[in-house]
A and B are shown apart, each in its own frame.
Chain A
Amino acid sequence: GAVVSQHPSRVICKSGTSVKIECRSLDFQATTMFWYRQFPKQSLMLMATSNEGSKATYEQGVEKDKFLINHASLTLSTLTVTSAHPEDSSFYICSAVKQGASYEQYFGPGTRLTVT
């Protein structure tokens, strides 16, 4: 099967600091990765589409300067929450689309961010 990992699984940071979350496709190459955010007891909301070698595409209302996305290789995308605030506390989930199989999307286990 296709495995997607996220690191870290949990992170607590202080307000004003930045935190980086990694999303890796372990056994396949992914030209496209997606980043979602899920607030407690709510649905997943797409934040941005990350394409290898190009700039990410952000959904309406998502601040690109606050949520920096880098997709430097076919197996790694990173999301950096800059100058985090308590309202950024959430569950961040990535997914990766298998190269050549555009309908196959695999989700990572998620990263729970708590900003104090």
Chain B
Amino acid sequence: AQKVTQAQTEISVVEKEDVTLDCVYETRDTTYYLFWYKQPPSGELVFLIRRNSFDEQNEISGRYSWNFQKSTSSFNFTITASQVVDSAVYFCALSHRQGAQKLVFGQGTRLTINP
């Protein structure tokens, strides 16, 4: 079975702090995709990143960075120099089969950035 665990239910930091959101996944598949989505108060999911299981390179996009470690089945997300606009619920998700795209979501982490 596929499972995604985001152990941090809520995180609150002060603006400009760095913050890391944890994601641990379980799957028996050798080919899979990992995702991060942002859900602001409006409710619409905003796609942040997709990573396939064969690409363990870390990725940086502006203030966002992702650390994929297959050995620990983790796909953590770091926001550097956080801003109030980063406040949202962040979901990590797993697609267990290429082409199927059924997503299994983690429980989500509610991130609050305080001014």
- Chain A: residues with CB nearer than 8 A to chain B? 32, 34, 41-46, 49, 91, 93, 95, 97, 102-103, 105-110, 112
Contacts and interface: CB of A to CB of B under 8 A. Distances in A.
- What class of interface size applies to chain B in its complex with A? 20 to 34
B80 interface: no
A105 B101 contact: yes
B45 A103 contact: no
Interface stretch (B15-23, B55-63, B70-78, B102-110): B102-110
B44 A43 contact: no
A108 B37 CA distance: 13
B30 interface: no
B45 A107 contact: yes
Given A107-B45, A110-B44, A43 B101 contact: no
Given A34-B102, A102-B98, A93 B45 contact: yes
B91 A43 contact: yes
Interface of A is mostly: strand
Interface of B is mostly: loop
A52 B107 CA distance: 30
B107 A43 contact: yes
A103 B98 contact: yes
A44 B105 contact: yes
A49 B97 CA distance: 14
Contacts of A108: 44
Contacts of B45: 44, 93, 107
A106 B44 CA distance: 11
B107 A102 contact: no
20 contacts: A34-B101, A34-B102, A34-B103, A41-B110, A43-B91, A43-B108, A44-B91, A45-B105, A46-B102, A93-B45, A95-B103, A97-B101, A102-B98, A103-B95, A103-B98, A103-B99, A106-B47, A107-B47, A109-B43, A110-B44
Interface in B1-58: 33, 37, 42-45, 47, 50
Contacts of A34: 101-103
B45 to A, nearest CB: 4
B18 to A, nearest CB: 25
